[in-house]
Chains A and B, each alone.
Chain A
Amino acid sequence: MAQPFLKKDDDHDDEVDYSPFLGIEKGAVLQEARVFNDPQLDPRRCSQVITKLLYLLNQGETFTKVEATEVFFAVTKLFQSRDLGLRRMVYVIIKELSPSADEVIIVTSSLMKDMTSKTDMYRANAIRVLCQITDGTLLTQIERYLKQAIVDKNPVVASAALVSGIHLLQTNPEIVKRWSNEVQEAVQSRAALVQFHALALLHQIRQNDRLAVNKLVSSLTRGSVRSPLAQCLLIRYTSQVIRESASNTQTGDRPFYDFLEGCLRHKAEMVIFEAARAITELNGVTSRELTPAITVLQLFLSSTKPVLRFAAVRTLNKVAMTHPIAVTNCNIDMESLISDQNRSIATLAITTLLKTGNESSVDRLMKQITTFMSDIADEFKIVVIEAIRSLCLKFPLKHRSLMNFLSNILREEGGFEYKKAIVDSIVILIRDIPEAKESGLLHLCEFIEDCEFTYLSTQILHFLGIEGPKTSDPSKYIRYIYNRVHLENATVRAGAVSTLAKFGAMVDSLKPRIFILLRRCLFDTDDEVRDRATLYLNTLGADGAVEDMKEFLFGSLDIPLVNLERSLKNYEPSEESFDINSVPKEVKIQPLAEKKAPGKKPTGLGGPPPGPPSTIDAYEKLLSSIPEFANFGKLFKSSAPVELTEAETEYAVNVVKHIFDGHVVFQYNCTNTIPEQLLENVTVIVDASEAEEFAEVASKPLRSLPYDSPGQTFVAFEKPEGVPAVGKFSNMLRFIVKEVDPSTGEAEDDGVEDEYQLEELEVVAADYMLKVGVSNFRNAWESMGPDCERVDEYDLGPRENLAEAVNAVINLLGMQPCEGTEVVPSNSRSHTCLLSGVYIGNVKVLVRLQFGIDGPKDVAMKLAVRSEDEAVSDAIHEIVASG
């Protein structure tokens, strides 16, 4: 067995890099492979050469097609030898060479002979090799042997056949499914692994038949499965069955729960853990169901085996997200894991503790974490920072120690992502915990004194400009800010100038001093810095209304930057100055792919993500080019296209609703899908009898609609100015159809008038609402004030779940969800959703929705609306009440 490939020398021990494969070369080994062709085979030497070939393959060496074929043919000669060890190596190398179909034929007969051999080892391995290299055609020939092998009394042979069956099921399901009876017999095998493999195969054969899986699970959970691995499988199948049947057994005991709980007392750790994990992952698991699983995991936490500790803490970490209370019992064990030598375990323990910790343990916890932070990687640190942030929001009273912790680690070494995570956290804490503001701002000030990241410096300066002037002693920040003007690059300097100006505008006592500082900036080397300084000096120095100046400095740019950019590009220099109010405000919904991008967590700094280019100004251009609609004023909103025909009909029509202050224009986009027809004089006859407040004022027909080139026809309605009128419209497409000769493409002269019924169209309240996000809902909410607030409660009746109710209300109102609050965590019983928008008449509206669900899925909602106009607040309630 032990075959040294080079002559063993006693000196070898001294050589550090001794290897029997030292200086091995592919070409030479391929030459050596000629010994396979010797009439008198030397099994030992052949084995050695195969090992060398395998070594080369294992090191990543590749054989050319020709080389591989040559080796393969040579290897097939070795079936002549009756040496068991050599045969074993032959099997392995055939699998590694993965021969092509025409090569496989050469070894098929040898392998089939081995499959029926009396030697168990031959049978088992020949099955594995043959099944791996074969294709479907050969399978029918050997099927008989495979079925026999499945019930072979040698467990190794049976396992080989079963495992091969699992692989073959992917490519030849119809054949493998015929082995059901044999597999079922094998499930009863007394050999542990045969049972495991048989169960895996049987389940895969039946996986699409829910009833069969159900039966399989219920019979086996009563019986005795011997192998721990098979038991793990059974637990997985059981949880699958529970998941799928959960919906119809909402009340009462969960089926098979007793089985899972019983597995917690199994003697194999892997089974205990599998069961505990399965229980924690049950849909809507109750704390009563959780308790035994948590208890078992808690025992694992103090195990001497790192793998057990890791498995347990990882599972508990997940549980802590949904059921923090249930995990609290493990806190003591968890705390001792903070010093675990395995850093993965320690990090998981800390983040779990941060989720479950109570107010009194925070200080102690922070002390422990401090020592821990210095020796983990940045990726782990960010996880910890995020956990600390949510902990601080949970226990605002503890802000002092948490803030101290954050500022301490802010001063230590770290990469950009890590520093940004800390700064974001501090900013969020300042915003949400008023008491933390002053100390937080000072920490940030100290940080920018020595900050290597321009992005972070400018963001912090911007934030200082907003929050700093509102503090009790704004003057103490000036030094930090002005230092930036001396010491930083141009970008940061410009940011610092703006921040100074904001202090000057807000704090009268500081104004003269700010003026001096700003004047000094007039000599800066950078254009932008000088320009800003000049601009602010003039703005602040002017005697104009203070309100205007503040609006200029602090007002948020409530238009998407991309829209502004496009409008500026379109602007042609003329007498008329650029009007910022002409920029469309609608933010296009982002494509899903972009939404999934990394920044889905609430970001502390920066506004909402800029939207991609919108189509709204394309519409605006189109409409203003039509004389009939030119006097309708500024376009308020254009809806997404609504399909009015089924897919794949003769004529495809969709409609876009354009809302103006006193008018509504329907733009019908029509496509003719019949090559033999030309449509002319296409109009849409609209019946507005179910839309009382609307009166048709104009219609613009489409002169000609040839095959497959879309065209538009428009119908305009008048409606009461500024009123969000709603109604239903039925539509009829009317046109003259002319036959077209497909060969020449020429239309006949005479046409026939025809009509085509379209679906109905509705103008709803959401059409009068623009989706406009705000960057900081809380600030916006507070600055709006409670003057025009309207609060009421609504019963939404039975709903499938909270998420569905939240979505329904968002769609009804057509507003922009803020801060990611449209996402409802699964299993939650209550949820708060924040919406913002602009209502017709350019009235800003903010909405706070609080949902609660009780027992039999009845959803109740509290709706609080703030807007600049109480009539609008009432209107929003009206929408919900009538929706």
Chain B
Amino acid sequence: MELCPLIKNILLLDSEGKRIAVKYYSDDWPTNSAKEAFEKAVFAKTQKTNARTDGVNHVDLLTKVNADAEITMFDNYVVVYKFVQDLHFFVTGGENENEIILAAVLQGFFDAVGLLLRGTVDKKEALENLDLILLCLDEIVDGGIILETDANVIAGKVASHSMDAGASLSEQTITQALATAREHLTRSLLK
């Protein structure tokens, strides 16, 4: 039995099942075509569900009550997922993984992306800020091991980095938007 909770992959796909950003932490899918096949199958399997959280666009993200994550079993993997607009978020774990831990990772990823995209969570925005999404993935899981699940901390870590580099005027508003996130970060550090 696997003792440490492990994440097999995190996927962010668009409304047609195409990749926006994916990260695999397991050798279960050795080739790109194996990965694509998995993504295709997962996407097809989860299409008819109600994981969609439409209409939460431009809502205050820190107080927003999200729709709950959905879940399915698939080829001996447990997949938890959430959709918003044309973005589909997936987190996969082994068949014996604690479903609630997987859901916590998904929620962390989902909310962090929401914070980083300042509420406009859709494909266009995600692609335009792909660097942030990739950094976000990098901060959530390292080699399958969960690094952080608190969205505020994740977003804080991703955002703080680019900020000190002579933030331009246009970015000041973002700075404010992220002030809350940073505050959360500081608080969690002082705990």
A residues engaging B (CB < 8 A)? 1-5, 12, 18-21, 43, 47-48, 50-51, 54-55, 58-60, 62, 83-89, 91-92, 95, 121, 128, 132, 154-156, 159-160, 163-164, 166-167, 190-193, 196-197, 200, 203-204, 229, 232-233, 236-237, 240, 269-270, 273-274, 277, 304-308, 310-311, 314, 341-342, 344-345
Contacts and interface: CB of A to CB of B under 8 A. Distances in A.
A307 B100 contact: yes
A200 B72 contact: no
Nearest to A272: B100
B36 A311 contact: no
Interface string B45-59: 000011000000000
Nearest to A207: B3
Interface string B174-191: 100000000000001101
B129 A1 contact: yes
Contact of B3 (A47, A92, A128, A240): A240
A190 B147 contact: no
B131 A51 contact: yes
A311 B98 contact: yes
A86 B98 CA distance: 36
B161 A92 contact: no
Nearest to B3: A236
7 contacts: A12-B124, A58-B21, A87-B161, A89-B135, A191-B189, A196-B146, A305-B69
B4 A166 contact: yes
Contacts of B87: none
B142 A2 contact: no
Contacts of B142: 128, 160, 163-164, 167
Given A51-B130, A51-B131, A191-B191, A229 B146 contact: yes
Contacts of A5: 128
A164 B70 CA distance: 32
B3 A310 contact: no
B52 to A, nearest CB: 12
Given A60-B36, A156-B157, A344 B73 contact: yes
A4 B138 CA distance: 21
Given A59-B19, A269-B100, 6 more contacts: A3-B129, A19-B127, A232-B98, A233-B4, A240-B1, A307-B102
B127 A307 contact: no
B101 A232 contact: yes
B72 A342 contact: yes
B162 A154 contact: no
Contact of A307 (B71, B132, B135, B148): B71
B113 to A, nearest CB: 13
Contacts of A4: 128
Contacts of A19: 123-124, 127
A306 B68 contact: yes
A65 to B, nearest CB: 17
A51 B134 contact: yes
Contact of B103 (A47, A196, A307): A307
A83 B165 contact: yes
B164 interface: yes
Name, among B36, B142, B157, the residue most crowded by chain A CB atoms within 10 Å (CB to CB): B142
B61 interface: no
Contacts of B160: 121
Nearest to B35: A60
Contact of A58 (B19, B71, B80, B98): B19
Contacts of B130: 20-21, 51, 54-55
Contact of B71 (A1, A59, A88, A306): A306
Contacts, number: 170
Nearest to B48: A343
A197 B124 CA distance: 36
A270 B98 contact: yes
B162 A167 contact: no
Contact of A190 (B50, B138, B191): B191
B117 to A, nearest CB: 9
Interface of B: 1, 3-5, 19, 21-22, 32, 35-36, 49-50, 68-73, 80, 98-104, 123-124, 127-132, 134-135, 138, 142-143, 145-149, 157, 159-165, 171, 174, 188-189, 191
A84 B157 CA distance: 12
A351 to B, nearest CB: 13
A294 to B, nearest CB: 17
A346 to B, nearest CB: 12
A1 B148 contact: no
Contacts of B191: 190-192
A159 B50 contact: no
Given A200-B4, A307-B99, A155 B21 contact: no
B6 to A, nearest CB: 10
B98 A273 contact: yes
A307 B98 contact: no
B135 A88 contact: yes
Given A12-B124, A233-B3, A85 B100 contact: no
A85 B138 CA distance: 14
Nearest to A22: B127
A787 B99 CA distance: 58
B128 A2 contact: yes
B162 A85 contact: yes
A413 to B, nearest CB: 18
Name, among A3, A270, A308, the residue most crowded by chain B CB atoms within 10 Å (CB to CB): A270
B43 to A, nearest CB: 16
Contacts of B143: 132, 163, 166-167
B99 A310 contact: yes
Contacts of B3: 200, 203, 233, 236-237, 240
Nearest to B124: A18
A1 B100 contact: no
Given A203-B3, A344-B71, A2 B129 contact: yes
Contact of B127 (A20, A89, A314, A344): A20
A306 B174 contact: no
Contact of A21 (B71, B101, B127, B161): B127
Given A2-B128, A58-B21, A92-B134, A307 B80 contact: yes
Nearest to A50: B131
B138 A92 contact: yes
Closest 6 CB pairs of A and B: A85-B162, A60-B32, A270-B100, A311-B99, A307-B103, A51-B131
Contact of A270 (B36, B101, B131): B101
Nearest to A89: B131
Contact of A1 (B99, B123, B159): B159
A232 B104 CA distance: 13
A273 B171 CA distance: 43
B163 A341 contact: no
A240 B3 CA distance: 9
A240 B161 CA distance: 41
A197 B148 CA distance: 10
A220 to B, nearest CB: 14
B71 A166 contact: no
B99 to A, nearest CB: 4
B26 to A, nearest CB: 13
